């Protein structure tokens, strides 16, 4: 059984993951509007991954005889200056999420709650991937600069991203 304080912290993280999903969905729409369907697809797949992250914690709480909550959150941003601006925001956002996950790990370690530690280990590895993929695209967009042809090539490459098994896209 989860302690109340750990359950509260995990419920907050469900909310944060669902908020992340909405951020990526908003980014996907921005790219659709700019005529970049590959970037939009990449963001749409990311949206599905974030929903899965939230549901992973949701199921974990209920499996531990706790009570998963569906909490509200603010609307995500809707506008960005450029594709690079979108991905710089995405990279910064993932760095914040990493700090949240690390904090959850620290709370679970203090109790200690071993099952939550195992779950958070999965999230810690996932965050390494999340930051890596966002940073790579930031770097590629910086290389592309103002070249429309380079951005269109990148658009085609990113459009090949497929949802992971079980993703809700
Ligand atoms: Fe669920 Fe992108 O972290």
Using CA positions, which residue lies closest to atom 1 of ligand 1?
50
* 57 is a domain residue: yes
Asked if the structure places residue 84 within a domain, the reply is yes
Q: What are the pLDDT digits (tens) for 12-37? A: 999 999 999 999 999 999 999 999 99
Q: Is residue 169 part of a domain?
A: no
Ligand 1 centre to CA of 147 (Å) is: 30
Q: Is residue 50 part of a domain?
A: yes
Total number of domains constituting the chain: 1
Classify residue 60: in a domain, yes or no: yes
Contact 104, 96 (CB under 8 A): no
* 50 Cβ inside 6 Å of ligand 1: yes
CB-ligand 1 contact for 130 (6 Å cutoff): yes
Position 135 scores a pLDDT of: 98
DSSP string over 83-104: HHHHHHHHHHHHHHHHHHHHHH
CATH at 9: 1.20.1260.10
Residue 167: per-residue pLDDT: 66
Residue at token pair 């899965």:
52
53 CA to centre of ligand 1 in angstroms: 7
Report yes or no on 46 lying in a domain.
Answer: yes
> Alpha-carbon distance 166 to 169, whole Å?
9
Per-residue pLDDT at 168 = 59
- Is residue 95 situated within a structural domain? yes
Atom of ligand 1 nearest to the CA of 127: 3
In this prediction the pTM is: 0.96
Q: Which residues of the chain have pLDDT under 70?
A: 165-169
Distances from the Cα of 77 to the Cα of 16, 25, 27, 71, 108, angstroms: 15, 10, 8, 19, 32
Inside any domain, residue 18: yes
User: Ligand 1 center to residue 34 CA distance, Å?
Assistant: 24
Longest dimension (CA), the chain: 55
User: Which residues form the domain of 54?
Assistant: 4-158
Q: Ligand 1 pocket, 97 CB below 6 A?
A: yes
Alpha carbon of 146 to ligand 1 centroid (Å): 29
Alpha-carbon span 132 to 126, nearest angstrom: 10
pLDDT of residue 108: 98
């Amino acid at each position: 059984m989860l302690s109340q304080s750990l359950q509260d912290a995990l419920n907050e993280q469900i909310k944060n993951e669902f908020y992340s999903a909405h951020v990526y969905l908003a980014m996907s729409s921005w790219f659709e509007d700019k005529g970049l369907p590959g970037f939009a697809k990449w963001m749409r797949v990311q949206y599905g991954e974030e929903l899965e992250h939230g549901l992973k914690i949701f199921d974990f709480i209920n499996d531990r005889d706790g009570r998963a909550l569906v909490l509200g959150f603010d609307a995500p941003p809707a506008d960005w200056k450029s594709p690079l601006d979108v991905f710089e925001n995405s990279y910064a956002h993932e760095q914040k999420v990493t700090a949240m996950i690390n904090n959850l790990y620290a709370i679970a370690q203090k109790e200690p709650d071993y099952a939550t530690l195992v779950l958070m280990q999965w999230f810690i590895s996932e965050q390494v991937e999340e930051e890596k993929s966002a940073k790579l695209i930031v770097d590629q967009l910086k290389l592309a600069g103002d070249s429309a042809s380079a951005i269109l090539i990148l658009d085609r490459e990113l459009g090949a991203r497929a949802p992971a098994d079980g993703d809700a896209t």
